Chains A and B, each alone.
Chain A
C-alpha cells in the first residue's frame, strides 16, 4: 500500500469532496473504515461533519476508537478536519458534554454570539492568521480565507498546539492545530479553493515532522 492516504469513513458526513480534492492532486486516497487499511496507510485523514456525540459513538461501533490513537502514536502524518478535529480534544460541550479522544489537550466550546449579526453556525469564508509556521501552511499567504461550517470551536489548553487562529462571534479560536505528526483544521480545506488545495498538497508530501513545538 505504497503512498496511500486513508480517509477514515465513520459515517460522519460526506467524504466525496475530500476524495475529489486528493484526486485533483493525483494523490491516491481511499475512503475506508477498515482498521488494517488505516494502520497500513502512508498517511491518514480524519474528516467529519455532524455532531460530536454521534461521531464518538460511530467510532466505537466501528472499532476505530483505539485505532486513531494508535495511528497518531505511530508517527505517520495525520490530518483532522472539522468534527474530526474537534473530537481529537479531551471533550466537547456538544450533546450535553461528550468525552472525546484526548489526543490534544483542551475542550470544544459552543459559539455564544453577543451580536445578532453573528449567526451560528459560523458558515462561510474567514481569515486564517498564522501564529507559528507549520509545514502544512507553507506557500499559503497569511490571512488567506478558508471555508468553515461549524457551531463549536476547539479551545486547546496548550498554546503550543495553536498553529493558526480565526476570529468569529467575539472569540479568537484555534483554526489550525498541530503537535508532532498530528495536524488538524477546523475549516474544510477540501472546499477552500486554491489555499485549501495547497494545504492538502502539503499534507500529501509532509513527513510528519514539525520543528517548533512538542514534536
Chain B
C-alpha cells in the first residue's frame, strides 16, 4: 500500500528554524540540519524547508543550506522561498532537493509552473497555496488565495487555482490554511477535501496539526495524501513514531521501516 506521508515543515530564517503563528511572533527552534537529521531518524517521510525571509529580503535561496541538507538526509525534501526563475529551480535541484515549492511567485507568474514542469518534470513542481475562508462571490469555493505570507488577498478562488495549477503542470498541491495555521486545532478539512477530490495529483494538508487524530481526520475525511506537521513536533510534545503508531491503529497505511 502507498503510505500516507508525514512531512515536518521547517521555516528557515537566517539559517535557523523558527516557528510563528500566522507568520508572526517567530521563535528560534534550532539548527535546520540537526533537526532534519533527528526527524529522519524518527521516521519522517519527507521534509519541507521554507526560506521564509528570502523573498522579503530580495535575496536568492540559501543554496549552501540545501546542499548541507542533501548531504545529511537520504529522503526526499522540498524547498521553497527565494525562487523566482527556472535557473533558481535548477540550482536547488542540483544541490540535491527533490522538489521545489512555488507559492506567491506562481500567483504573479503562473507560467513558471509550466516552465518548471517542462524543464524538470511535474513531480518536481509543488504548488503551495495559502487560502483563507471568504464570503466573496468571486470565490465560489468559499476560499480565497492570499500571498506574501497571508498579507495580501488576491481575489482568486482556491479550488479554481488548484485546478489551473495542475493543468499548468504542478505535480503536487500543498493546501496551507491561513485560518488553521499555527492553531493546532486540526487541519482545514473542507477545502483540503474539495481539492483532493478535484485534482489528479497528490494533495498535502498543511496548517493546524495538533495531535495524531488531526492527521487521521485529514487522511480519512479529506483524502489528503500527506500531512505537514510543525509545532506539535517542534515543541517536543509529540514524536513522529508516536504519531505513526496512532495512525497505524486508525488503519492508515504508514511507512514503518526506517
Residues of A within 8 A of B (CB): 13-14, 16-17, 20-21, 23-24, 49-50, 116-117, 119-127, 141, 143-145, 147, 149, 167-168, 190-197
Interface of A is mostly: mixed
- A149, closest chain B residue (CB): B123
- Measured between beta carbons, the chain A residues less than 8 angstroms from B201 are 119
19 A–B contact pairs at CB < 8 A? A14-B94, A16-B94, A16-B96, A17-B98, A20-B70, A21-B74, A24-B74, A50-B121, A119-B200, A119-B201, A121-B122, A123-B171, A123-B172, A123-B202, A124-B226, A125-B255, A144-B257, A145-B256, A168-B2
Q: Is the CB of B223 within 8 A of A117?
A: yes
- B75, closest chain A residue (CB): A193
Q: Measured between alpha carbons, how far is A145 from B71 in the docked complex, in Å?
A: 21
The answer to whether B145 has its CB under 8 Å from any CB of chain A is no
Q: Measured between alpha carbons, how far is A20 from B71 in the docked complex, in Å?
A: 6
Question: Which residues of B (118-133) have their CB < 8 Å from a CB of A?
Answer: 120-123
Q: Measured between alpha carbons, how far is A21 from B3 in the docked complex, in Å?
A: 23
Question: Which residues of B (66-99) have their CB < 8 Å from a CB of A?
Answer: 70-71, 74-76, 93-96, 98
Q: Is the CB of A17 within 8 A of B257?
A: no
Q: Is the CB of A16 within 8 A of B95?
A: yes
Interface size class of B (residues with CB under 8 A): 20 to 34
With A117-B223, A145-B257, A191-B74 as contacts: A123 and B123 at CB distance below 8 Å: yes
CB distance from B138 to the nearest CB of A (A): 28
- Measured between beta carbons, the chain B residues less than 8 angstroms from A16 are 70, 93-96
- Measured between beta carbons, the chain B residues less than 8 angstroms from A126 are 1-3
Q: Measured between alpha carbons, how far is A186 from B19 in the docked complex, in Å?
A: 37
- Measured between beta carbons, the chain B residues less than 8 angstroms from A191 are 74-76, 98
Q: Is the CB of B74 within 8 A of A196?
A: yes
The answer to whether B188 has its CB under 8 Å from any CB of chain A is no
Residue from the list B5, B197, B258 in contact with A124, Cβ < 8 A:
B5
Q: Measured between alpha carbons, how far is A144 from B256 in the docked complex, in Å?
A: 8
A-contact bits for B51-73, CB 8 A (1 contact / 0 none) = 00000000000000000001100
The answer to whether B225 has its CB under 8 Å from any CB of chain A is yes
Excluding A121-B122, A127-B1, 16 further A-B contacts by CB distance (< 8 Å) are: A14-B120, A16-B93, A20-B71, A24-B71, A49-B121, A49-B123, A117-B223, A121-B123, A124-B5, A125-B2, A125-B255, A144-B257, A190-B74, A191-B74, A193-B75, A196-B74
CB distance from B248 to the nearest CB of A (A): 13
- Measured between beta carbons, the chain B residues less than 8 angstroms from A143 are 257
Q: Is the CB of B172 within 8 A of A14?
A: no
Q: Is the CB of B74 within 8 A of A119?
A: no
Q: Enumerate the 6 nearest inter-chain pairs by beta-carbon distance, A residue then B residue, closest first.
A: A144-B257, A145-B255, A125-B3, A125-B255, A16-B96, A149-B123
Q: Measured between alpha carbons, how far is A192 from B76 in the docked complex, in Å?
A: 8
Q: Measured between alpha carbons, how far is A61 from B32 in the docked complex, in Å?
A: 42
Q: Measured between alpha carbons, how far is A187 from B155 in the docked complex, in Å?
A: 41
Q: Measured between alpha carbons, how far is A145 from B45 in the docked complex, in Å?
A: 10
- Measured between beta carbons, the chain A residues less than 8 angstroms from B122 are 121
The answer to whether B40 has its CB under 8 Å from any CB of chain A is yes
- Measured between beta carbons, the chain A residues less than 8 angstroms from B202 are 119, 123-124
- Measured between beta carbons, the chain A residues less than 8 angstroms from B223 are 117
Q: Is the CB of B257 within 8 A of A13?
A: no
With A122-B2, A191-B98 as contacts: A14 and B93 at CB distance below 8 Å: yes
